[in-house]
Amino acid sequence: MSIAIAVVLFFILFAVVLIAVSVALRYMESARKKQAFKMLETVAGESTAPTLNLMKSKPDELTALQDLLARINFVKTLRKRLAQADLSWSVEIFCLASIVFAIVGGALGWHFVSINPPVGAAGVALLFAYLPNFFVSRKRAKRIAQMDAQLPDALEFLARSMRAGHALTVS
């Protein structure tokens, strides 16, 4: 039975590695396409001046993983939580980190739990899979606490500025 679980863990790890390689290759390919396009523009003499876009736009090309995650409802809330935690992680990175932590936790649980290895491996895998979520929650809570601590001072400054006769936009 332990060989079967080892084979399943191997296939899960293999799938995670394949997904990571696929995402990396797509990123490198898109970077190469952009570089080639810029080189062709330079050669043709049609170089356009760079424009500054203050709005974030959605990328045109979605990877398979991004497309899959976009269909799931919790992605919006996860993106919001990552932004509130002031992390530059994408949803894909968060999910891959959870999967990798779960695999590592499962392997450690299988190795160190002697009473019932499958149950111990599953429990430790779930615990380890929760670690990225715990990290994001802690960072988010700290950031919100900092904002809560600064809010009264900011409002007091705004009130004093408006009492002095300044407009709201200037204040």
Q: What is the pLDDT of residues 96-128, one digit of tens each?
A: 999 999 999 988 888 888 788 888 888 889 999
Give pLDDT, residue 47: 57
Q: Is residue 47 within 8 Å of 41, Cβ to Cβ?
A: yes
Say how far residue 85 (Cα) sits from the centre of its chain: 11
Neighbouring residues of 28: CB distance < 8 A, sequence distance ≥ 6? none
Please give the model's pTM, rounded to 2 decimal places: 0.54
Give pLDDT, residue 46: 63
pLDDT at 72 over 90: no
Does an H or E element contain 19, and which?
Answer: helix 2-44
pLDDT at 141 over 70: yes
Question: In the structure, what pLDDT confidence band is assigned to residue 30 with cuts at 50, 70 and 90?
Answer: confident
Sign for the CA dihedral angle at 113, 118, 121, 124 comes to negative
Q: Is residue 129 within 8 Å of 94, Cβ to Cβ?
A: no
pLDDT at 132 over 90: yes
Q: Once rounded to an integer, what is the mean pLDDT over residues 82-87? A: 90
Give me the phi and psi of 103, to 5 degrees please. Answer: -65, -45
Q: Once rounded to an integer, what is the mean pLDDT over residues 67-95? A: 82
Give pLDDT, residue 35: 82
Q: How many Å apart are CA 46 and CA 48, to the nearest integer?
A: 6
pLDDT at 136 over 90: yes
Indicate the average pLDDT of the chain.
81
Give pLDDT, residue 49: 55
pLDDT at 60 over 60: no
Q: Is residue 82 within 8 Å of 94, Cβ to Cβ?
A: yes
Q: Once rounded to an integer, what is the mean pLDDT over residues 72-82? A: 82
Q: Once rounded to an integer, what is the mean pLDDT over residues 19-41? A: 80
